[in-house]
Amino acid sequence: MDTTVPTFSLTDLQAGLHQDEFRRCLAEKGVFYLSDSGLSEADQKSSKDVAVDFFDHGTQEQKRAVTAKDPTIRRGFTGLESESTAKITNSGSYTDYSMCYSMGTSGNLFPTPDFERIWTGYFDRMYDASREVARQVLKTTGTEPDGGVEGFVNCEPVLRFRYFPEVPAHRSAEEEPLRMAPHYDLSTVTLIQQTPCPNGFVSLQVEVGGTFVDLPAKPDLVLVFCGAVATLATGGRVKAPRHHVAAPRRDQIAGSSRTSSVFFLRPNADFAFSVPLARRCGFDISLDGDTATFQDWIAGNYVNLRTKTKA
C-alpha cells in the first residue's frame, strides 16, 4: 500500500470533487491533511501562547485550582506525566510525556478571563471546522446517522492542547521509545494543529499499511484523524488509524519540544453503537450486551487515565 498521507481541500470536498480518492483514503488510511479549513496558524498561536505561559508561570495553587478532580472529565490543567495512554490501551505502564489543558462546551476551568476569551474563540473555530469535516465524511460514505447529520455533528467536543517538552535521558528512544502509546481516537474526527520540533525531529506518527509513518507539521494545513466513532457510525466504512508520539534519540533531545492543539469531535453521551461491530473492527471493548452508548465506552476506557496528580 502507498503510505503517503494525502492532502484534500475542504472547498473541493464541499464541491463534490475527488470523492473516489477521498472514499479510498477514509477506508484504507483514515488520516489526511486538510487545506482551506478556515483555521490559520495565527488561530493556534494565540491559544498556544497563553497556555504555555500558564504552564511556565502559573503557581502550584493556580494549577490545582483548574485541575479536574474526576479523571474521566477532560477539563482544565493536567500536569506533566499525569496521564498514561499506555494504561488505557493495555500496552504498558509508562506515562504520556506531556502536560495538557482541556476545554469543552461547558464545565470549564479557566485561570483568567483573558485565557477564557482566547480559548473560547479558538474552540468555536475548531468546532466549526470539525463539524464540516464530519459532514463530508458522512456524505462521502453515504451515512445518515439516527437523528440526522446535524444532530450527530452538534455534539460534545473536547479541545486539548498538549505541550511535549524535551524528554530527559531516561525517556529517550533508547530507553522508552514513545512519548505517548499507540491508540485510536474515540471521536468522529480529530483535527490537529501542531508546531514542529525546532530540531526537525518528527514525533507524531500514524500506522499506514502496517508501518508507522511520520506526520510532520505542514504550514497552513490541518491534520485529520478519523476516529472509532466514524468507523461505527458508517458501519465500518471508515478506518480509525492507530497513531503514537515517538521519543527522540539521546542525540536528538535538544530542540525536540513540540505542541499540538487537538480537537476531538465526540458524539453526545447517548450515541448508541453495536458492540459486536466494535469488536469486529478491532476496538478493545469490554462492555457486555449487543449495544452500548458512548458514555458507557468512554467511562470504562478512561478508568486508568490519570496516574497521579502532578503540577
What residues are annotated to the active site? Answer: 74
Residue 118 to residues 42, 65, 197: CA-CA distances in angstroms?
12, 19, 24
Cβ contact 179:205 at 8 Å: no
Residue with cell 477506508: 27
Give the DSSP letter of residue 169.
G
Strand partners, 77: 101
Neighbours of 114 (CB within 10 A): 10
The Cα–Cα gap between 238 and 241 comes to: 9
CB 286 within 8 A of CB 237: no
Instruction: Identify whether the C-beta of residue 231 lies closer than 8 Å to the C-beta of residue 239.
Output: yes
Retrieve residue 268's grid coordinates. 453526545
User: In DSSP terms, which residues pair with 306 in a beta bridge?
Assistant: 83
